[in-house]
Amino acid sequence: NVFHGEELSSQKTWLRCACIGSSDQHVVDVAQSENGRMRGCMPFAETAVELRLCGSSWMPIATKGQVFCFLPLSQPTDLAFHVNGFFAVSSNRRRLLWDDAEIDVHNSSNSDEFPQVWNNCLVGDTLVLTFLKMLQLFQCVCGREDIASMAFKIWPNPNCLSSSVWREFTSKFYSCVLQTESKIMCTADCKRWLGVEEAVFLADSAQRLPHSEVLMSKLYSNYVQMPRFVKRALSASDEAAMKRLSVSDVELVQRVFEENNRNIDQNIRVDLARELLSQFVETSNQRRLSPVLTSLAFIPVSTVDGLFRRPSDLIHPKCIAA
């Protein structure tokens, strides 16, 4: 829900999302264990993202995230949003009890270790589900889809995290992103929200090509343009899945030249052809690019009608360059 709150006499608007429960039976078992029942543990988590009105639409604002256990703990998270939950905290309420180097998160029998085990469960499961739900809610409150594409501003950046608590959260979050069917990503043309499996991304090899972002937007209606830190975090979670969902440089070149695509600007195609020839000169790229470049009509031969030819059309077919 969207609510209005006051902080230091300035009114701010926040999007809040709260969840109770878990998708992992282990979390339920920990909550219902003897230690869990004694402490009244409940798998509850909440996230809050600041919103700012832009015209008639709301846009997310990255804030200096704090952690709450219903009251603030004075502990920054390095996330772009606030976190609240039924955490186990230190006696002075200054920090979460967390020591993942010394505990077994699958064993909650030891009373001394239980607070850390419980926090690990809450951060790695219930809080992840809560933030995923918040990303779904954001498309409901965002009036303009061009602003919706800015949702990546609040996604956790692994490069900015100093605490093992939130690195654990971030790792589990990106793992869940690749498994969820929820539509949490907006296409580059800002026309549709997609689930991860419905989207395509730009591989690093293709990103080095000139005008690659423009070409992807023109040729793939389901193209999602994401920050580099998001792409790297998803690849670290499941490299094979991201490779399957990403368009490589070879695939993009084939899509551009295979049908002599007339809706691509002539100058863009010429720049692309120059880059391909430049890369082909490098020995390391010859084996990878040779099958594609020998079969595609990618060499411009006319600036008037936009004609392109295969190398074999311009030189002797038995020459090594063909």
pLDDT at 102 over 80: no
**Structure token pair of residue 83:** 């976190």
Q: pTM, whole model, 2 decimals?
A: 0.84
**What is residue 129's predicted lDDT score, i.e. its pLDDT?**
95
**Structure token pair of residue 235:** 């690849």
| Residue 211, phi-psi category: left (phi > 0), alpha (psi -120 to 50), beta (remainder) | left
| Residue 25, phi-psi category: left (phi > 0), alpha (psi -120 to 50), beta (remainder) | alpha
188 or 307, higher pLDDT: 188
Instruction: Determine the average pLDDT of the residues in 28-34.
Output: 90
**What is residue 54's predicted lDDT score, i.e. its pLDDT?**
81
Q: Quick: pLDDT tens for 231-275.
A: 999 999 999 999 999 999 999 988 888 765 667 888 888 898 888
Q: Positive or negative CA dihedral for 4, 7, 8, 12?
A: negative
**What is residue 45's predicted lDDT score, i.e. its pLDDT?**
96
Burial of 86 (0-12, 13-18, 19+ CB in 10 A): buried
pLDDT at 111 over 60: no
pLDDT above 70 covers a percentage of the chain that reads 86
